[in-house]
Structure 1
Amino acid sequence: MAKIWAKAPSPCIGVCKFRDEGRCLGCQMTKPEKKRFKRLKGKAERRPFFLMLRERLEARDRWNYWSRMYRRRCLKKGADCPLDKLEGAEREARAA
């Protein structure tokens, strides 16, 4: 299952307009974060990155749009979507 994280496509959804305090309107990443994502390895580094990004997107009320577009991107690339793992862990934490 860790391969899901290692093979996760970039969170970029192809909007790439940097207006919100230097953050992309589509994914809320900064230019340095977009470059950094490529160097992140496996679950230990990528999962926290996605968690940080989710918080940022939720704060801007953009999570629903972004997650829909990101799932579409994963599907096009034939990659398992790591968002399923994030949401599954969240449901388990609520149930406990």
Structure 2
Amino acid sequence: MPKPPSPCIGVCKFRRDAHCIGCSMTREQKALSKQAKKPEARRAFVTLVMAQQAVMGGYRHWDAAYAKACAKKGVEVPPRPDAA
């Protein structure tokens, strides 16, 4: 099974208390996401980012961009923790 893509959607502007306005990750989280090599670890990391977005609010634009990246890799989009 292929691993999910990185939660990064290529915006990379850190303005919201050092969180990216595109994906909500901090610089440190972006570095950690690159270390998640196994599909299970990547899915867990994506779920963490989704939960962080739910708490911070204002990241619904990310859903469409991330779904497109998942479709390109042939991977199912993980369900949002707030939708479970």
TM-score normalised by length of structure 2? 0.77
Paired residues for 1:73-92 under 5 Å: 73-75=69-71, 78-83=72-77, 86-87=78-79
Residue 53 (structure 1) aligns with: 49
User: How many residues of Structure 1 are paired with residues of Structure 2 in the alignment?
Assistant: 84
The list of structure 1 runs, each at least 4 consecutive aligned residues, that deviate by more than 4 angstroms after superposition, is none
TM-score normalised by length of structure 1? 0.69
Deviation, 1:73, is 2.5
Tell me, yes or no, if structure 1 residue 38 matches structure 2 residue 30. Answer: no
Structure 1 gap ranges (5+): none
Residue 16 (structure 1) aligns with: 12
Partners in 2 of 1:52 and 1:39 — Cα distance?
15
Deviations 1:12-48 (A, max 9, x none): 1111110111110000001121121111122332222
The structure having more radius of gyration, on CA atoms, is 1
How has the CA–CA distance of structure 1 residues 69 and 48 changed in structure 2, closer, same or farther, with 3 Å as cutoff?
same
Deviations 1:38-68 (A, max 9, x none): 1112233222211111111112333431111
Deviation, 1:82, is 4.0
Partners in 1 of 2:46 and 2:60 — Cα distance?
14
Residue 72 (structure 1) aligns with: 68
User: Partner letter of residue 11 of structure 1?
Assistant: P
How has the CA–CA distance of structure 1 residues 41 and 82 changed in structure 2, closer, same or farther, with 3 Å as cutoff?
farther
Q: Give the structure with the higher percent helix.
A: 1
How has the CA–CA distance of structure 1 residues 50 and 42 changed in structure 2, closer, same or farther, with 3 Å as cutoff?
same
Give the alignment's Cα RMSD to 1 decimal.
Answer: 2.6
Structure 2 gap ranges (5+): none
